[in-house]
Amino acid sequence: MKSILEGSRYLALAGVISLLIAAIAAFIWGSMKTADAVLLVFRSLGQDPSITIKLIEIVDSFLIATAKMIFAVSLYELFIGALNLPKWMLAHNLYELKGKLSSMVVLVMGVKFLEKVLDVKDPTVLLSTGISIALVSAVLIAFGYFGKKN
């Protein structure tokens, strides 16, 4: 039974491989958005008002891709074995992994809110969206701050 349980850690490879595939797809997605934005800049000679939003969307795409990659390598490190990567890129326990997820969610929400600010149609909706994002961000940040293990 012991060897079965010890060997079951390799089940995490399914998550690692899936996250790596998703990260690759997200990096390709971000690259396609980059090409689209560059073409828009050249076609419009920098005059199209949607350029700013497109450039912010690129950041969002690469944030998501980076988060997927961090999760893939962290899962590998947690369940399979050590990796020679920068310390900031790895989570050394599940709590740290949840903290990295919380941080990425806050960043992505901030980028999404900025996209809405630049494309305001209804100030009331913008205000309620901003308040909602601020509350969720505050909870996630508080979770990271107050939930730290000593």
Q: Are 16 and 76 in contact (CB under 8 A)?
A: yes
Spell out the per-residue pLDDT of the chain, length 150, in tens: 888 877 788 888 999 999 999 999 999 999 999 999 999 999 999 898 888 888 888 988 998 999 999 999 999 998 898 888 888 888 888 888 888 888 888 888 888 888 888 777 888 988 998 999 999 999 988 887 776 655
Helix 51-79 vs helix 12-44: crossing angle, to nearest 10: 160
Domain boundaries, the chain: 2-146
Cα separation, 89 vs 144, whole angstroms: 17
